[in-house]
Copies of this chain bind each other. A is one copy, B any other.
Amino acid sequence: MLSTMSDADLDALAQKTEAEFADFRARGLKLDMTRGKPAPEQLDLSSEMLALPANRDFTTRDGEDARNYGGLQGLPEVRELFSEMVGAPASQIVVGENASLAMMHDCLVWAMLRGFSASPRPWSQEPQVSFLCPVPGYDRHFAICEEYGVRMIPVPLTGHGPDMDEVERLVADPSVKGMWCVPKYSNPSGDIYSEETIARLAAMKTGAPDFRLFWDNAYAVHHLTERRHEIADILQACADAGNPDRALIFASTSKVTLAGAGLALFGSSRANVAWYLDRAKRRTIGPDKLNQLRHVRFLRDAEGIARLMDGHRQLIAPKFAAVDEALTKYLDGLGIARWTQPAGGYFVSVDARPGTAKAVVALAREAGLALTPAGSTWPLGEDPDDSNLRIAPTYPSLEDVRVASTGIAICLLLAAIRDERTARAAA
């Protein structure tokens, strides 16, 4: 433990670590561990799609011309293809464009300007709208709330979802209209919501009659181990609890097929799907059905999706292992940091010694390593403990991930040592 180390031992470790940092910095590297982007090799798994659906192959299962206008909800064969992944019947799925974030954004915007059927008034006419935000969480969720003046209330994650006692207490406030949830392999903590968590989210008594779970199941099929974790059926749980319209499910193929040219998916109750389509029809005549055909021709069925995801896993699981290895090598037993060994998803979440996350990012930058800004996993970028860091190991090569992880470990250690020495000097 760093905190119980003798001053002499601490000085020795400081000297050694400062030297390691100087050596690392001297290599003049330029590595980026900020973005949850698939690597080129992952995209190559779907490169066949670039020549699909191919000339004259534009007829849908129902005999429609996919090149022309129409089809607001998405082709039935696409909705069937993703029914299992989304966790909703095909009839209760809407296919969007390439970004599920856009579907979340639009749901919030439409709630603001129009409200849901159970809304006393459009949310923008409420004195205050609040969302519960499990932390650490996804910065782009928080950015949408910030944009539209939604107050964000952090709720701690436990490893199997948010602290439900806290959630149940907070959600009694009628200003709490929504909650962000990444229920499987949560970004960045890796939380997998337990059956009990999901049952309580579905059943809890909310102050707002039009409370909505923004259920961003972004990593539904994005396993990092051979175990394909499953979570409880949120739509069913909500229906069983008498709250059939509570959950808005979002998913996409951005990290299944092609990150910039995937399909976004929305799934919910019949009433919410009707509400969504009634709004969406003012915005567009219909989505890009050729990209939908492209996905059907390439993926074929749920087994095709699973096979493709196995390919992704084989490419990226070693990168996650490399992060863990480096952090373990430098930090194990020192009690200065905790990090996740996620079973899926795209991130490793690191809790650095409190008060040092910003310093770690600054050290890393000095050493040529780009890290996601400290605080970005918290609403408004404000981590009260200045502790959480998000590491995204998928995009760089395995060798680069190895090198960068070593650098990150050194920075985490050095920041902690400097902080400890400052504390001792002040004592």
- The answer to the question of A285 belonging to the interface, with a C-beta cut-off of 8 Å to chain B, is yes
B284 and A102 within 8 A (CB): yes
A51 and B54 within 8 A (CB): yes
A101 and B284 within 8 A (CB): yes
Q: Which of B69, B97, B260 contacts A259 (CB 8 A)?
A: B69
Q: Which of B124, B282, B284, B291 contacts A113 (CB 8 A)?
A: B124
B259 and A68 within 8 A (CB): yes
A282 and B68 within 8 A (CB): no
Give 1 or 0 for each of A245-289: 1 = CB within 8 Å of chain B CB. 000000000100011110000000000000000010111111111
B97 and A66 within 8 A (CB): no
Copy number in this complex? 2
Tell me the A41-65 residues at the B interface (CB within 8 Å).
Answer: 43, 46-48, 50-51, 53-58, 65
In the complex, identify which listed stretch (A143-151, A196-204, A232-240, A328-336) lies at the interface while the others stay far away: A143-151
Give 1 or 0 for each of A132-148: 1 = CB within 8 Å of chain B CB. 00000000100110011
- The answer to the question of A71 belonging to the interface, with a C-beta cut-off of 8 Å to chain B, is yes
Give 1 or 0 for each of A215-233: 1 = CB within 8 Å of chain B CB. 0000000000000000000
- The answer to the question of A188 belonging to the interface, with a C-beta cut-off of 8 Å to chain B, is no
Instruction: Please report the C-alpha to C-alpha distance between residue A77 and residue B263 in the assembled complex, in whole angstroms.
Output: 24
B43 and A50 within 8 A (CB): no
Q: Which of B69, B124, B260, B283 contacts A260 (CB 8 A)?
A: B69
In the complex, identify which listed stretch (A32-40, A354-362, A374-382) lies at the interface while the others stay far away: A32-40
A48: chain B residues within 8 A (beta carbon): 55
A71: chain B residues within 8 A (beta carbon): 260
Q: Which of B35, B105, B147, B291 contacts A69 (CB 8 A)?
A: B35
Rounded to whole Å, the gap between the CB of A218 and the closest CB of chain B is 12
- The answer to the question of A67 belonging to the interface, with a C-beta cut-off of 8 Å to chain B, is yes
A258: chain B residues within 8 A (beta carbon): 67-68, 290
- The answer to the question of A109 belonging to the interface, with a C-beta cut-off of 8 Å to chain B, is yes
B284 and A99 within 8 A (CB): yes
- The answer to the question of A114 belonging to the interface, with a C-beta cut-off of 8 Å to chain B, is yes
- The answer to the question of A112 belonging to the interface, with a C-beta cut-off of 8 Å to chain B, is yes
Q: Which of B106, B147, B260, B281 contacts A114 (CB 8 A)?
A: B147
9 nearest A-B residue pairs (beta carbon): A99-B284, A105-B283, A261-B290, A43-B67, A147-B282, A97-B97, A67-B258, A69-B259, A261-B288
Binding site for B on A (CB under 8 A): 35, 37-38, 40, 43, 46-48, 50-51, 53-58, 65-71, 97-99, 101-102, 105-106, 109, 112-114, 124, 140, 143-144, 147-148, 254, 258-261, 279, 281-291
